[in-house]
Amino acid sequence: MRSNVPSDAVDVSDVQGLVRFGFGHLTEACYLLLRIRDAASARAWLTAALPLVSTAVKLPQKPSTAMQVAFTVSGLRAIGVGDEVVSGFSAEFVSGMAGDQSRSRRLGDIGANAPDGWEWGGPGSEPDVLVILLADVGMLEDWRRQVESGSFHDGFETLACLPTSNLHNNEPFGFRDGISQPDIDWPRQRTPGTTELTYTNIVALGEFLLGYPNEYGKYTDRPLLDPLEEYADYLLSAEDDPSRKDLCRNGTYLVIRQLEQDVRGFWRFADQAAKSDPKERLRLAEAMVGREIGGDPLAPLNPSAIPGVDYVPGAPSNCFTYDQDPEATRCPFGAHLRRANPRNVDLPGRPAWFLSRWLRMLGWGIKSFRDDALASTRFHRILRRGREYGPGLGIEDALRQEPANDPKRGLNFVCLNANISRGFEFVQGAWLMSTTFNGLNDENDPVLGNAAAAGDCPYTGNFSIPRVGAPPQVLAGMQQVVTVRGGAYFFLPSLSALRYFCRRPTQTR
Ligand code: HEM
């Protein structure tokens, strides 16, 4: 299918840098979660801080600091965005991550994860603004002081400052992280077909940036403004309706969740299940994650190249799908990696002929009950931009008696997507938390899983590892080792939208 849009290049100077870069070289970072105290002062700060907001332009030299600014729905309202515009944002953004019980249940935010117990983002502690600060070694404090100057303290109250640490590309359990990311189609050359039978890592720009066609070849719904509205001339026109101004073009949604990791609990469970055999302990932990601890995939590498996956000599490979592991004897069906991105295509079995496709769509020719159990990956990709916090802890140390005042460790999980419902919420709810993912029963993600019973759902504390010629090995009594401590949905606006916000008059809350 040809895309129905002009393939104009994107003006990356209008896009906040996090959409294009992970800023991995800036190893110090913190997340400022702010409440707007006084809107006029907050706007004055933003006006002065605009030149500090990092864009997606590739600079000749890597910057030594970076800053990004995002707003929750309450932040947009406080900065002067009217209800008629706010209501054009996506329903899940307007409702918020902790906005209703049904959403909390679907996201696994029940029991120990329930928003009532969150340190921030739960009822009464929702932030308005997120300021992400990134800096070179030793520069973060100065950078923060510089950013928090002018009318910052008149404009904002700091709800929380989430620190981060540098575990050198590993997450706190010790596994290599940040290997697999979608390859965004910035040049807009991808013309998604109606039915895709080849797995590709290249994803339509509109999956990650609002105002451009997504994997369906459509523009995601968003508020479009009357060009005659005051200050609307600060905004770009909508590509799909040039008579309207597009508040969201070059912006996206940012999801953040503070995920505390019980590193000792994770390794103690693996150790017990392995009867303290170190090799077996590592094998079980790797089966839960879906990659070896150093990052190599458990699934066999693909014999042919995958579009959008670079071969980097010496680095953990990303060149695989699960086609070569249909019985999951290499990478379990329920492993975190396989749940988070099943790397499948639109139709199982890839029927090449028109007639066989139709038969497959009608449910005939299905060989296994698993064949029909998964949604196609290309509509559910997320761009991960999180950072770990807390000190590292090796496996042997994790198994020792914990000291008094053991420091907290975890992941400040951040992801970007133009559609929170189809991106983060689908991956989290329908894949990671599902007790029936890919034909499984009574288990959810072994890393993130929440064993608390939800509604009619049964106990979920199992993890099964399929074996060749034997029934699956089942680990029972899985402990919850990741607990949600806070979370929120933000809008990460374009630079032109930030300029527009600076001009909006204050509304009273
Ligand atoms: C503390 C919590 C978490 C831990 C310890 C964790 C750990 C990992 C590790 C070690 C990898 C392999 C590295 C890579 O392929 O880049 C990975 C991949 C991934 N994770 Fe997580 N993760 C966590 C939370 C989440 C959450 C909340 C989501 C989404 C809602 C998520 C989605 C993904 C995705 C999409 C991948 C890449 C899968 C692929 O493309 O093959 N993770 N994670």
pLDDT at 453 (0 to 100): 60
Contact 398, 263 (CB under 8 A): yes
pLDDT beneath 70: ranges in the chain? 1-7, 349-369, 371-373, 452-459, 504-509
- Pick from 40, 45, 90: which is nearest to 67 by CA? 45
Query: Structural domain of residue 133, as residue ranges?
Result: 12-256+487-503
pLDDT confidence of residue 366? 59
Of residues 186, 218, 213, 182, the one with CA closest to residue 200: 182
Nearest to 479 by CA among 462, 497, 501: 462
Return the residue whose CA atom lies nearest to atom 9 of ligand 1: 177
- Give the pLDDT score at 460: 77
pLDDT tens-digit map of 440-486: 988 989 999 877 665 566 667 899 999 999 999 999 998 899 999 99
Could you tell me the CA-to-CA distances from 115 to 32, 121, 165, 475 in Å, in that order?
19, 7, 25, 29
Ligand 1 atom closest to the Cα of residue 381 is: 35
Question: Rounded to whole angstroms, how far apart are CA atoms 156 and 145?
Answer: 14
Asked whether residue 88 is assigned to any structural domain, the reply reads yes
**Is any atom of ligand 1 closer than 6 Å to the C-beta of 414?**
no
In a domain, 4, yes or no: no
Tell me what pLDDT residue 6 has: 46
pLDDT of residue 449: 85
Please give the pLDDT value at position 352: 65
Q: Return all residues near 135 (Cβ < 8 A) that are at least 6 apart.
A: 26, 28, 29, 64, 65, 66, 142, 143
Q: Classify residue 475: in a domain, yes or no.
A: no
C-alpha 255 – ligand 1 centre gap (Å): 14
Query: Using a 6 Å cutoff on CB, does residue 255 contact ligand 1?
Result: no
Domain count along the chain:
1
Residue 292 placed within a domain: no
- What was the pLDDT predicted at 346? 84
- Residue nearest ligand 1's atom 30 by CA: 428
The token pair at 431 is 């894949």
Cα(336) to centroid(ligand 1), Å? 7
How do beta strands 482-492 and 252-261 pair? antiparallel
266 inside domain: no
pLDDT (tens digit per residue) in 173-201: 999 999 999 999 999 998 877 788 889 99
Alpha carbon nearest to ligand 1 atom 13, residue: 177
Measured from the CB, is residue 110 less than 6 Å from ligand 1?
no
**Cβ neighbours around 82 below 10 Å, total:** 13
Query: Is residue 384 situated within a structural domain?
Result: no
pLDDT at 214: 96
Residue 57 in domain: yes
pLDDT at position 456: 60
CB 413 within 8 A of CB 257: yes
CA distance 412 to 372: 34
445 lines ligand 1 (CB under 6 A): no
Nearest protein CA to atom 42 of ligand 1, as residue? 340
Answer yes or no: is 378 within a domain: no
